[in-house]
Amino acid sequence: MSNAILVVGGGFAGLTAAIEAAELGRDVYIVEKTPWLGGRVAQLNKYFPKLCPPSCGLEIQFQRIRKNPRIKFFTQAELIGLVGSKGDYTAKIRLTPRRTAPHNVDFSLLASALTGEADNEFDFGLSKRKALYKAMPFAFPGRYVLDAKTLSKSDMARVAGAKFIDPTQESRDIDLNVGALVVATGWRPYDMTRLTNLGAGRVRNCISNMQLERLASPFGPTGGKIVRPSDNCPPMNVAFVQCAGSRDQNHLNYCSYICCMATFKQCLYLLEQNPNVRITIYYIDLRAPGRYVNVLEKVKAQPNVSFVKGKAAEVAQAEDDRVWLTAEDAVRGEKLKLVYDLVVLATGMQPSLAGVKDFLPLPLDEDGFIAGGEEAGIYAAGCARMPLDVTRAARSGTAAALKAVQTVEGR
């Protein structure tokens, strides 16, 4: 039997669940697949509706973790097995080696001297990274990772002599005894290449909303300048395609909750950088629930932003790296074909567990959202459960923490 709680996923919902349970006096383990905590929100430039930076909230969360001896976390770690039952589970965790020393060494000079490069997954391919890297300036833990696959020959020689690096570390498995689990495995942006009518990710200057977040970020590939990937020029004429994959039986059979609000926020980014930019939003419904309507009204009041009710039918390459957009204006009944400097696909969120077989003794629905588990002492939180924005993910994490605490209570 165990009083400890295992939180799977170190994104915002998971962090919240873990910290809230620990601050109520429970022992908590966090298992995170990537090398750092923070999850998807770390990739965002700003949050709606206040346009505040996500790293502000993460900073507080990380400080709470540092100060709380009840929280232990494992990064580059995956849950690979679970046996037992509610109140007494043994979770098998596979730890991938980090290959750097465990104490915040600053490898920035060594890293910049390396030559091998890989696509930077954190920037969705908009930039390259070295074999030794730290994805974000506020990374927690503040440690570099050595990705041995990306080392060039000369890199290997450099790294071999370096202090605090061990390229030979192997992965290992550990067992954790826990009484309850919170599963907060989150989401991934819907894969653009599946949207064949919208260019399948092959049209230059047709990017996803998450890529736009990276472009707008001060630590993104352009230091925060929103430019066209093809020529690094600021776009003058931008289209947003809402529901790119969402509300579509062939892709995501639900609304992704955040994409309308994300687009309004991104309109404000664009207008801040260039007040003369012209923006058109193609939508089915403008979904700004609750007091978020204030943001919608703010964007509607901008003279350079126009709205067309109608789903985009096609995105295609135009001359000069511009982009054709074909859409139907559903109110006027007109077919439109217009050319833009930049087209942003408001892609939705797909649960990370979509397509994952037998992850846990957990029922998933046909889209991959967790649909149960409570009776086994396993509680879903955040976007693993349904599409949510950050504040609702935080509420969901807090609620899941309560359920997990009740489960291990008094053992």
Partner 1 sequence: MAEKIGVYFDVQNIGGGLDVEALAARTREKWGDFVPIVKVCSVLADAVDEINADISSQQLDGVLLCGVSPRAEIGVYRVPAQVEYVNLREQCVLSYKNPDGSQPDFSGGAPEPLAIMAADYVNMGVVKLQKSQPPDSATVSGVRRVLVIGGGISGLTAALEAAATGYEVVLVEKSEQLGGAAVNIPVSSPLVPNWTEKQSVNLNMKISAVVGNPDITVYLKSQMETLGGQPGEFKATIAAPQGPVSIDVGAVVLATGWKPLDNKYLAPMGLECFANVVTAAEFGKRLLAGNVSARRIAFVLDTTIAEDAARDAAEAAAQQAQDGKMAEEEKDAGKFVKEDLESIRHLAYSNAVNSVGMLRLADSVCEQTDDATQAFILYKNMTVPGILERFYKKMQDRLGVMMTKADVTAIREAGNHLVVECKNTLLGMDFDLEVDLVVLPTGMVPTTAKDAVVRFDYRQGPDFPDLQLFDGFTDSNYICFPYETRRTGVYAAGCVRQPMTMDACEEDACGAVLKAAQCIEAASRGVAVHPRSGDASYPVFNFVRCTQCKRCTEECPFGALDDDEKGTPKPNPARCRRCGTCFGACPERVISFADYNIDQIGSMIREVVVPKDFRREGPRVLVLACENDAYPALDMAGMRRRTWNPYVRIIPVRCLGSVNAIWVSDAMSKGFDGVMLLGCKYGDDYQCHFVKGSEICSRRKENIAETLNRLGVQPERVEQLEVGIDEYDKVPDLIDGFVSRIMDMGPNPFKGM
Q: Between residue 300 and residue 329, which ones bind partner 1 under the rule CB under 8 A?
A: 309
CA triple 70-141-147, angle to 5 deg: 130
* Pair 353, 9: CB distance under 8 Å: no
SS3 content of the chain, % helix, strand, coil (to 5): 30, 25, 45
Closest separation between CB of residue 339 and partner 1, Å? 26
Instruction: Check residue 60 for interaction with partner 1 (CB under 8 A).
Output: yes
- Pull the structure tokens for residue 243: 């529901």
Instruction: Check residue 25 for interaction with partner 1 (CB under 8 A).
Output: yes
Closest separation between CB of residue 360 and partner 1, Å? 16
* Pair 293, 219: CB distance under 8 Å: no
Among 285, 356, 361, 411, binds partner 1 (CB under 8 A): 285
Complex with partner 1: residue 146 or 393, whichever CB lies closer: 393
Instruction: Check residue 157 for interaction with partner 1 (CB under 8 A).
Output: no
What is the Cα–Cα distance from 242 to 58, expressed in whole angstroms? 28
Complex with partner 1: residue 260 or 277, whichever CB lies closer: 260
Which string of x and - marks every residue 69-88 that binds partner 1 (by CB under 8 A)? x-------------------
Sole window of 123-131, 183-191, 283-291, 319-327 interacting with partner 1 (rule: CB under 8 A): 283-291
Instruction: Check residue 405 for interaction with partner 1 (CB under 8 A).
Output: yes
Instruction: Check residue 390 for interaction with partner 1 (CB under 8 A).
Output: yes
- Pull the structure tokens for residue 211: 């890529």
Instruction: Check residue 162 for interaction with partner 1 (CB under 8 A).
Output: no
Instruction: Check residue 398 for interaction with partner 1 (CB under 8 A).
Output: yes
* Pair 320, 293: CB distance under 8 Å: no
What is the Cα–Cα distance from 390 to 185, expressed in whole angstroms? 14
State which of positions 95-114 bind partner 1 (CB under 8 A). 101-106, 108
State which of positions 219-248 bind partner 1 (CB under 8 A). 219, 223-224, 247
Complex with partner 1: residue 243 or 323, whichever CB lies closer: 243
Sole window of 17-25, 180-188, 205-213, 226-234 interacting with partner 1 (rule: CB under 8 A): 17-25
What is the Cα–Cα distance from 22 to 32, expressed in whole angstroms? 17
Closest separation between CB of residue 400 and partner 1, Å? 8
Instruction: Check residue 124 for interaction with partner 1 (CB under 8 A).
Output: no
Among 98, 129, 130, 287, binds partner 1 (CB under 8 A): 287
Coil, helix or strand for 197? helix
Instruction: Check residue 359 for interaction with partner 1 (CB under 8 A).
Output: no
Closest separation between CB of residue 335 and partner 1, Å? 14
Q: Give the other-Cβ count within 10 Å of 272's Cβ.
A: 12
Q: Any idea which residue has 């932003």 for tokens? A: 305
* Pair 312, 305: CB distance under 8 Å: no
Among 156, 316, 338, 371, binds partner 1 (CB under 8 A): 371
283: which residues sit within 8 A by CB, 6+ positions away? Answer: 242, 243, 260, 307, 308, 309, 310
Size of the residue set binding partner 1 (CB under 8 A): 84
Sole window of 165-173, 175-183, 272-280, 289-297 interacting with partner 1 (rule: CB under 8 A): 289-297
Instruction: Check residue 50 for interaction with partner 1 (CB under 8 A).
Output: yes
Q: Give the other-Cβ count within 10 Å of 99's Cβ.
A: 21
145: which residues sit within 8 A by CB, 6+ positions away? Answer: 35, 76, 98, 99, 100, 132, 133, 134
Coil, helix or strand for 317? strand
